């Protein structure tokens, strides 16, 4: 894990100017707005906003998918007097920042290295973005190695920083109400609820387990899978809704406030990830932090976090998922072991303070570019 030297960044002189940050928003889409004399700067959701605001930066969130062209970024930069930038996703966000004359960094998404790199034109664009970027952040060493193989010229500017995890379940959350709203009218004591948390888009593959799970539910009516996530792709969301509507034992719930989501995670039996591609799943890490077992599709991004039968269970097809889920239900000792190992893994390897240190220092490199 590459962490830069850590000088103090206390906001002693009031608000600091900081970068424009762009992200495909899947949670908490409402922009954060600060008021004051300094420029307001869009920031990605999650801990990054908190990290930079703690250093005195004034930050605003901007969804990269809402900006259709580089010219819109140019207008935004001029209107808000933006001086630097940070984007989540090399292609989806980073490509919009080219040629504007402001220093920027990027954070790799799983789609960049697992999907977009296989498309010639996208790969070319991403290489150009990396040439201009002052730094890039990968969540894992394997992601860094993949990026360096594809773009050797970026070798000296890629840092590794795992996602930092902090969870905060809403104490007022009512699990029985959640189940009722999900259309599950059974006693919570007799249920095994599997939560699949994801933005509703094809790369997350929320329908991957639906048929197999429905068949299991017909055998054992006390098992349910609840898909929780925001509408990212409207057309695909309608497809998911139609499939789930006719699938026994499967329910679909739209996005929830983070505190409620964490409370739901803590109350469920297990968290599921069925993605085709992942950089590093926050839902998996949050489940581990909340002491909930994880069943994840065996893809590189998940296997980098989940060690089979140690910190979670990895499956390669829907039938294996059902086999492992049944095993987890019938083996409380395995559940306890996985939960304990997952909790320790997150607390040892996904420090929120270490993440804060890295991003605050990386932003200092952009500030240095501004001053130069």
Q: Are 82 and 57 spatial neighbours (Cβ–Cβ below 8 Å)?
A: no
Q: Are 165 and 352 spatial neighbours (Cβ–Cβ below 8 Å)?
A: yes
Q: What is the pLDDT of residue 358?
A: 87
Give the residue-averaged pLDDT of 203-229. Answer: 97
**The pLDDT of residue 39 is above 70:** no
Using a pLDDT cut of 70, give the percent of the chain over it. Answer: 82
DSSP 3-state of 88: strand
Of the candidate ranges 4-13, 93-102, 171-180, the one whose mean pLDDT is the lowest? 4-13
Q: What is the pLDDT of residue 314?
A: 98
Give the residue-averaged pLDDT of 169-190. Answer: 93
Of the pLDDT bands very low, low, confident and very high (cuts 50, 70, 90), residue 60 is low
Output b/e per residue, 225-238; b: 16+ Cβ within 10 A.
bbbbbbbbeeebbe
Q: What is the pLDDT of residue 28?
A: 32
DSSP 296-344: EE--HHHHTTPPBTTTBEEESSHHHHHHHHHHHHH-HHHHHHHHHHHHH
Look at residues 121, 87, 127, 124 and name the one whose alpha carbon lies nearest to residue 103: 87
At 75, give phi and psi (nearest 5°): -65, -40
Q: What is the pLDDT of residue 220?
A: 97
Alpha carbons within 13 angstroms on the beta-carbon side of residue 164 total 19
pLDDT tens for 270-304 read: 999 999 988 889 899 999 999 999 999 999 889 98
pLDDT tens for 324-359 read: 999 999 999 999 999 999 999 999 989 888 888 888
Q: What is the pLDDT of residue 368?
A: 56
**The pLDDT of residue 235 is above 70:** yes
Q: What is the pLDDT of residue 66?
A: 74
pTM for the whole structure: 0.74
Q: What is the pLDDT of residue 64?
A: 72
Angle at 212 between CA 210 and CA 213, to 5 degrees: 65
Q: How far is CA 40 from the centre of its chain?
A: 24
β-strand partners of 193: 224
**The pLDDT of residue 40 is above 80:** no
Angle at 151 between CA 101 and CA 162, to 5 degrees: 85
Q: What is the pLDDT of residue 356?
A: 86
Q: Name which residue leads in pLDDT, 49 or 254.
A: 254
**The pLDDT of residue 53 is above 50:** yes
pLDDT tens for 75-128 read: 887 877 777 788 888 988 888 888 888 889 999 988 888 888 889 999 999 999
Of the pLDDT bands very low, low, confident and very high (cuts 50, 70, 90), residue 61 is low
């Amino acid at each position: 894990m590459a962490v830069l030297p850590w000088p103090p960044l206390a906001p002693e002189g009031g608000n600091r100017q900081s970068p424009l940050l762009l992200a495909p928003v899947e949670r908490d889409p409402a922009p954060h707005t600060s008021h004051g004399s300094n420029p307001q700067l869009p920031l990605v959701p999650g801990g990054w906003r908190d990290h930079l605001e703690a250093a005195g930066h004034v930050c605003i969130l901007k969804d990269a998918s809402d900006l259709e062209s580089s010219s819109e970024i140019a207008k935004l930069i001029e209107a808000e007097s933006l001086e630097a930038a940070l984007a989540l996703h090399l292609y989806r966000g980073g490509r919009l920042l080219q040629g504007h004359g402001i220093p920027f960094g990027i954070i790799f998404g799983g789609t960049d290295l697992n999907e977009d790199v296989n498309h010639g034109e996208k790969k070319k664009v991403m290489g150009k973005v990396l040439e201009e970027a002052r730094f890039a952040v990968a969540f894992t060493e394997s992601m860094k190695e993949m990026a360096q193989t594809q773009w050797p010229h970026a070798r000296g500017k890629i840092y590794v920083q795992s996602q930092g995890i902090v969870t905060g379940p809403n104490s007022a959350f009512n699990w029985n109400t959640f189940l009722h709203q999900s259309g599950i009218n059974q006693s919570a004591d007799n249920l095994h609820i599997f939560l699949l948390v994801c933005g509703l888009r094809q790369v997350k593959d929320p329908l991957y387990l639906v048929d197999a799970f429905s068949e299991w539910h017909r055998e054992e009516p006390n098992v349910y899978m609840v898909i929780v996530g925001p509408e990212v792709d409207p057309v695909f969301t309608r497809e998911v809704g139609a499939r789930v509507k006719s699938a026994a034992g499967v329910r679909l719930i739209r996005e929830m406030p983070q505190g409620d989501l964490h409370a739901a995670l803590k109350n469920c039996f297990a968290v599921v990830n069925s993605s085709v591609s992942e950089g590093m799943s926050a839902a998996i890490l949050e489940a581990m932090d909340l002491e909930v077992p994880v069943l994840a599709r065996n893809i590189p991004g998940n296997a980098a976090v989940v060690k089979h039968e140690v910190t979670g269970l990895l499956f390669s097809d829907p039938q294996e998922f059902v086999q492992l889920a049944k095993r987890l239900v019938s083996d409380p000792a395995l559940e306890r072991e996985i939960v304990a190992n997952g909790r320790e893994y997150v607390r040892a390897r996904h420090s929120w303070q270490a993440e804060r240190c890295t991003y605050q220092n990386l932003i200092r490199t952009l500030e240095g570019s501004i001053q130069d």
